[in-house]
Amino acid sequence: MTDISALDERALENILSEPAAETREIVSGLDGDIVVLGAGGKMGPTLSMMLKKASGDKNIYAVSRFSDEGVRDRIEDAGVKTVRIDLLNESLYSQLPDVKNVFYLAGMKFGATGNQPLTWAMNSFLPALIARHYKKSRIVVFSTGNVYPLVEIDSGGASEDTTPEPIGEYAQSCLGRERMFEYFSQLNNTPVTIIRLNYANEPRY
């Protein structure tokens, strides 16, 4: 077994981005290229790398502001094409790739306290822009379990049948993200899947 504590970041990401056989089969069978929006964050780099490994000859695009140049370098070294833009600037959307498959990871979490206007813009306004721009694509939206209410410790936890009751502005803005994608999905018949994440099974976090 590999001692992950002895690995550098590139080696660790190479392990984390290794797709299972089932993943290779599904991703390689998709019709069209793939873009990861918000690819410079916590999960974006390894997801982009994994999609490249699993996709065969498809183009994989990673879109972000890329404030960490090292992250962009590692993504590009894996064969992923990067696009550096601020997604809140709609005038730059002509630079976005025209693809059939979209992974939406963009959002504001860290630093949300004391910066509520930007938090709402990133988590609720931006999803509306993206859902409208990619209305002819298939979209996977990464959301959060923070949209659920607190539940009794012996209840087994919230499930998808639990009515959202977000606590605090960050969680409320994340429910706004889901509602924007749901609205535009219904308006434009855009296929949208929302995945609510809770914890990263990742040694760096």
Domain 1-106 top-level CATH class = alpha beta
3-state helix, strand, coil in the chain (%, to 5): 40, 15, 45
Q: What is the dihedral of CA 11, 202, 39, 54, to 10 degrees?
A: 60
Q: Backbone phi, then psi, for 107, in 5-degree steps?
A: 170, 170
Q: Residue ranges per domain, the chain? A: 1-106, 115-198
- Tokens representing 68 are 């960490």
* Model confidence, pTM: 0.92
- Confidence band, pLDDT 50/70/90 cuts, at residue 203: confident
| Residue-wise pLDDT tens digits, 117-160 | 999 999 999 999 999 999 999 999 999 999 999 999 999 899 99
The domain covering 115-198 belongs, at the CATH homologous superfamily level, to: NAD(P)-binding Rossmann-like Domain (3.40.50.720)
Count of H-run helices and E-run strands, the chain: 7, 6
Residues forming beta bridges with residue 197, ordered by sequence position = 144
Nearest-angstrom CA–CA distance, 167 and 32: 39
Q: Do 71 and 38 meet the contact criterion of CB atoms below 8 Å apart?
A: no
Judge if 1-106 and 115-198 fold alike in CATH terms. Answer: yes
| Residue-wise pLDDT tens digits, 6-53 | 678 888 888 889 999 999 999 999 999 999 999 998 899 999 999 999
